[in-house]
């Protein structure tokens, strides 16, 4: 099962490959910091207010529940 992290880019990850996930503040934005088991890192900005935006709080919950 893949989880879509960013709607506008289509970035999806396999939750089995996620090693850590945390919500933090970066440059005034709330971001979801997803670290993969390969060492790759993905930062997703909270843009739920946009029509094609990403809700990082829902993504965080979805990633935690998939483990």
Residue 48 tokens, joined: 């739920």
Residue 35: per-residue pLDDT: 98
Task: Specify the number of domains making up the chain.
Answer: 1
Would you state the pLDDT for residue 63?
Answer: 96
Strand partners, 64: none
- Tallying the residues shown for the chain, one arrives at 67
d(CA 6, CA 13): 10
Separation CA 26–CA 30 (nearest Å)? 6
- Where b means 16+ CB within 10 Å and e means fewer, 26-51 reads eeeeebbebeeeeeeebebbbbeeee
Domain encompassing residue 47: 3-65
What would the pLDDT profile of 30-62 be if each residue is shown by its tens digit?
999 999 999 999 999 999 999 889 999 999 999
């Amino acid at each position: 099962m893949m989880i879509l992290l960013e709607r506008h880019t289509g970035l999806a990850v396999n939750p089995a490959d996620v090693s850590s996930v945390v919500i933090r503040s970066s440059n005034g934005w709330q971001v979801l910091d997803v670290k993969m088991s390969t060492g790759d890192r993905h930062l997703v900005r909270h843009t739920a207010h946009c029509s094609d935006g990403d809700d990082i709080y829902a993504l965080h919950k979805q990633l935690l529940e998939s483990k």
